[in-house]
């Protein structure tokens, strides 16, 4: 790790993944304020930032716990002293002993949507003398993981409640098909429909006498609708802390904290220059990153180590000039980096390890 504290953004060695501390803090406070006066609570998803420092900032601001996508991410967060962790995914196969181990030093909770998997978890928990918290995942319309609503949900929940070594805490259902809908009214309608399905499952279970303490859902594009929906108890929004270009276009009102700072390394033509940031620095599954500085230039393409910029009326650029881009998808771009270069007022204040990057298992 380099020691850049105090240098200006223009002096940072590149390419670098930068985080604006003011914008990050603003985003964390803004989301926390939304939940302050509501029955629902915030359980931010750490799959975007992957950084225990930021997770602790969210917890200090009022979050009740955190969400992770992977067991490896949850282990990193637990090792950083965080206890209440939801792994919003199914854990199967050789990972199960690790999960039971994690339950010995955290209050980890895991998603289940299959009885055979739940029986495996139950057997492993019983063998270790442990109790594992589980949420039944319901397909609220996204068509990814989750048991279908209605009778299949009730049937699985009845079996989960009876399994030794497991504590049935409630249900979750991520409305990922709604979070990116650009039109706010359409997004609201799709979100309300999904939450209607999820809370409908809660009602079904409760009417059958099953305890449903937790109803967990929500992302950055839908937190305001999901977080206000009667019956939802917690929201898993994640991208809001750092933001990215994709969420900028949805207009969710959070500030841009995450950027990539790069440098021109070659200026072969007046209308085209090459920067030192390519696909090893940024990802493209949601489109090219957005060039935000300097004006009058646009990112044309990325290859492994290079990015090509096209001139669109801007001042000529020379090798050594610094440019700034916003990743299109924060989650996967952040996953490429060891640390954030954290800045305030354009000066570096430190480097924060992205300790849970690359935790694909």
Ligand X SMILES: Cc1ncc(COP(=O)(O)O)c(C=O)c1O
Taking the complex as a whole, the smallest distance from the CB of residue 235 to ligand X amounts, in Å, to: 8
Q: According to CB under 6 A, which one of 220, 242, 290, 343 is a site residue for ligand X? A: 220
Q: Are 289 and 282 in contact (CB under 8 A)?
A: yes
Is residue 327 close enough to count as binding ligand X by CB under 6 A? Answer: no
Q: According to CB under 6 A, which one of 19, 99, 136, 179 is a site residue for ligand X? A: 179
Is residue 335 close enough to count as binding ligand X by CB under 6 A? Answer: no
Beta-carbon contacts of 129 under 8 Å, excluding residues fewer than 6 positions away, are none
Q: According to CB under 6 A, which one of 146, 219, 289, 327 is a site residue for ligand X? A: 219
Q: According to CB under 6 A, which one of 14, 27, 48, 328 is a site residue for ligand X? A: 48
Taking the complex as a whole, the smallest distance from the CB of residue 63 to ligand X amounts, in Å, to: 13
Taking the complex as a whole, the smallest distance from the CB of residue 237 to ligand X amounts, in Å, to: 4
Total binding residues for ligand X by CB under 6 A?
Answer: 13
Q: Which stretch binds ligand X (CB under 6 A): 171-179, 204-212, 338-346, 353-361?
A: 171-179
Is residue 357 close enough to count as binding ligand X by CB under 6 A? Answer: no
Is residue 174 close enough to count as binding ligand X by CB under 6 A? Answer: yes
Beta strands in 173-321 (DSSP E): 214-217, 234-235, 258-269, 272-275, 290-293, 297-302, 307-311
Is residue 238 close enough to count as binding ligand X by CB under 6 A? Answer: yes
Of the pair 234, 351, the CB lying nearest ligand X is at 234
Q: At what angle do helices 151-162 and 184-207 cross, to 10 degrees?
A: 50
φ/ψ of residue 216, rounded to 5: -115, 135
Q: Are 73 and 50 in contact (CB under 8 A)?
A: yes
Is residue 283 close enough to count as binding ligand X by CB under 6 A? Answer: no
Selection from 359, 350, 285, 356 nearest residue 19 by Cα: 350
φ/ψ of residue 8, rounded to 5: -80, 165
Beta strands in 43-165 (DSSP E): 66-68, 84-87, 107-112, 132-137
Q: According to CB under 6 A, which one of 237, 261, 288, 348 is a site residue for ligand X? A: 237
Is residue 88 close enough to count as binding ligand X by CB under 6 A? Answer: yes
How far apart CA 140 and CA 148 sit, in angstroms, is 8
Q: Which residue is nearest to ligand X (CB)?
A: 219
Q: What angle do CA 251, 237, 35 make, to 5 degrees?
A: 90
Is residue 136 close enough to count as binding ligand X by CB under 6 A? Answer: no
Is residue 45 close enough to count as binding ligand X by CB under 6 A? Answer: yes
Taking the complex as a whole, the smallest distance from the CB of residue 121 to ligand X amounts, in Å, to: 19
How far apart CA 313 and CA 298 sit, in angstroms, is 10
Q: Which two tokens stand for residue 154?
A: 């009730």
List of residues contacting ligand X (CB under 6 A): 45, 48, 88, 174, 176, 179, 219-221, 236-239
């Amino acid at each position: 790790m380099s020691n850049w504290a105090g240098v200006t953004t223009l002096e940072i060695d590149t390419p670098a993944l930068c985080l604006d501390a003011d914008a990050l803090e603003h985003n964390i406070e803004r989301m926390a304020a939304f939940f302050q006066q509501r029955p629902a609570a915030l359980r931010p998803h750490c799959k975007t930032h992957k950084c225990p420092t930021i997770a602790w900032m969210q917890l200090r601001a009022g979050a009740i716990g955190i969400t992770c996508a992977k067991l490896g991410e949850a282990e990193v967060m637990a090792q950083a002293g965080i206890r209440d962790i939801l792994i919003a995914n199914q854990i199967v196969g050789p990972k199960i002993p690790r999960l039971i181990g994690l339950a010995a030093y955290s209050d980890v909770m895991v998603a289940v949507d299959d009885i055979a998997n739940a029986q495996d978890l139950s057997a492993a928990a019983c063998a270790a003398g442990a109790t594992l918290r589980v949420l039944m995942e319901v397909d609220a319309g996204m068509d990814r993981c989750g048991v279908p609503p209605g009778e299949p949900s009730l049937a699985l929940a009845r079996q989960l409640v009876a399994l030794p070594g497991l504590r049935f805490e409630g249900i979750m259902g991520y409305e990922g098909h709604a979070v990116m809908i650009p039109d706010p009214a359409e997004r609201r309608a799709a979100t309300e429909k999904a939450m209607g399905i999820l809370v409908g499952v809660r009602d079904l279970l409760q009417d059958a006498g099953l305890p449903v303490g937790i109803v967990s859902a929500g992302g950055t594009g839908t937190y305001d609708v999901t977080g206000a929906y009667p019956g939802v108890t917690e929201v898993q929004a994640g991208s809001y802390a750092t933001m990215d270009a994709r969420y900028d276009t949805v207009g969710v009102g959070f500030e841009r904290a995450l950027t990539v700072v790069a440098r021109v390394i070659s200026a072969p033509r007046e209308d085209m220059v090459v920067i030192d940031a390519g696909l090893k620095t940024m990802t493209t599954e949601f489109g090219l990153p957005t060039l935000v500085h300097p004006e009058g230039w646009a990112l044309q393409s990325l290859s492994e180590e290079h990015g090509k910029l096209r001139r669109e009326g801007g001042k000529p650029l020379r090798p050594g000039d610094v440019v700034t881009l916003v990743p299109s998808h924060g989650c996967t771009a952040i996953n490429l980096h060891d640390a954030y270069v954290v800045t305030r007022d354009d000066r570096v204040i430190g480097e924060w390890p992205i300790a849970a990057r690359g935790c694909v298992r």
